[in-house]
Structure 1
């Protein structure tokens, strides 16, 4: 299940020093994805498996310094009950809060994690307008269900938008806004064309595009906090 571990991160858990755990496998194929080694089978099969016991021991060793644990991917929720059991073990062994990164494709699992209280903070990626999710191999109906679950704990959710111009036209943004309005925090992430899933992308993005997206969302969502990561 686990193919990567970073002992200390200052950026992955808002407001907390954290350790980051990387699961492998993903059901999406986003052209801008930079974690290709965790997405493509021919790549992640070459990576060493890290045992859950080893990871938990590493977390315990760092407990005096780190203040949270991030589980990311890939898409962690593909691991279902095994993921739930692992989070239970992390909580019982370390007592540390857990943040989960997800693409929103497993609403029932997310609901289980919300109800159980096992996950303290969620980050969910909003890729593009609902009617374009099929281009990425996704089903927005599932993502919408996840949004509906998470809007009930909106103060513990961050919606992440990677600013990749071909998937964020003004028409796309217009269709995304009603869902973004359910939440309190949006993070606008810079698109970096380096080791991406698709090679023939858009090249260097004009900074004006980032500012335009930011201004568009601020005008329509004045009560939502927008975090700039570009």
Structure 2
């Protein structure tokens, strides 16, 4: 289900001016999630649903100005048929590059999109150390499968939201073995200023210097560029 559209973004697709399409629903329950309207079923049903024709009309209005399309959520890969139908039309009717934001939990879906040349760039979120994924209702084995399918097939980046409750040097150390092959690792500063999925957990907030230390830590361990965002 498509639940949102942003006509112009300068930050969601590296190096491109993009339109952003939001899919509703998610199989994870990250306490730091700020898109809770797209996650909680009782909130999701209050949002209007957008059809593919509407999305394509909006994209065509911006053809010549935007240089890419971002598909995000929620978790878009939970709606594989709708996602594929949308991507097929974007490619056929606009021939724009597509970036997919995903939690990596649906390797079979991502593999089929890659084989059909429907995605040009993928951003995979690393939430916390592999052994802590059950805390967010996730299974890191699925993310590992996704990574093995993506490497060498399509450019991808790894995104890490630096939430103190879930990310420290210990968690980063545990994630290092899974970072090879990425275009970059992006560490995003967590901004605790929105309504959160679970306000009862004290998530904490890192400052800019903390993120710089994380960057230096990773640069000493991986041969992948590390960038900071929202610092």
Shared topology, TM-score over 0.5? yes
What does 1:136-215 correspond to in 2, within 5 Å?
Answer: 136-153=136-153, 156-193=155-192, 194-200=194-200, 201-215=202-216
Using the alignment, how far apart are the partners of 1:212 and 1:162 within structure 2? 14
Aligned CA RMSD, in angstroms, stands at 1.2
What does 1:12-91 correspond to in 2, within 5 Å?
Answer: 12-91=12-91
Aligned 8 A contact 2:2 2:51 in 1 = yes
Which range moved further: 50-59 or 201-210?
A: 201-210
Which range moved further: 168-177 or 24-33?
A: 168-177
Aligned 8 A contact 2:130 2:174 in 1 = yes
Structure 1 residue 3 displacement after superposition? 0.8
Using the alignment, how far apart are the partners of 1:142 and 1:204 within structure 2? 28
Q: How many residues align?
A: 228
TM-score by length of 2: 0.95
User: SS state of the match for residue 143, structure 1?
Assistant: helix
Question: For each residue in 1:17-74, what CA deviation from the matched residue of structure 2 results, as whole angstroms up to 9, or x when unmatched?
Answer: 0000000000000111111110001111111111111011110111110011100000
Residues 209/219 of structure 1: CA separation in 2 closer, same or farther (3 Å cut)? same
TM-score by length of 1: 0.95
Runs of 4+ in 1 over 4 A off after TM superposition: none
Question: For each residue in 1:159-178, what CA deviation from the matched residue of structure 2 results, as whole angstroms up to 9, or x when unmatched?
Answer: 10000112112221111001
User: SS state of the match for residue 13, structure 1?
Assistant: coil
Using the alignment, how far apart are the partners of 1:171 and 1:204 within structure 2? 17
Using the alignment, how far apart are the partners of 1:190 and 1:137 within structure 2? 23
Q: Is it true that 1:117 corresponds to 2:138 in the alignment?
A: no
User: SS state of the match for residue 12, structure 2?
Assistant: strand
Using the alignment, how far apart are the partners of 1:80 and 1:52 within structure 2? 14
User: SS state of the match for residue 109, structure 1?
Assistant: helix
User: SS state of the match for residue 165, structure 1?
Assistant: coil
Aligned 8 A contact 2:165 2:204 in 1 = no
Question: For each residue in 1:167-197, what CA deviation from the matched residue of structure 2 results, as whole angstroms up to 9, or x when unmatched?
Answer: 1122211110010123231111110112221
Contiguous gaps of at least 5 residues in structure 2: none
Structure 1 residue 203 displacement after superposition? 4.1
Structure 1 residue 147 displacement after superposition? 0.7
Using the alignment, how far apart are the partners of 1:163 and 1:35 within structure 2? 17
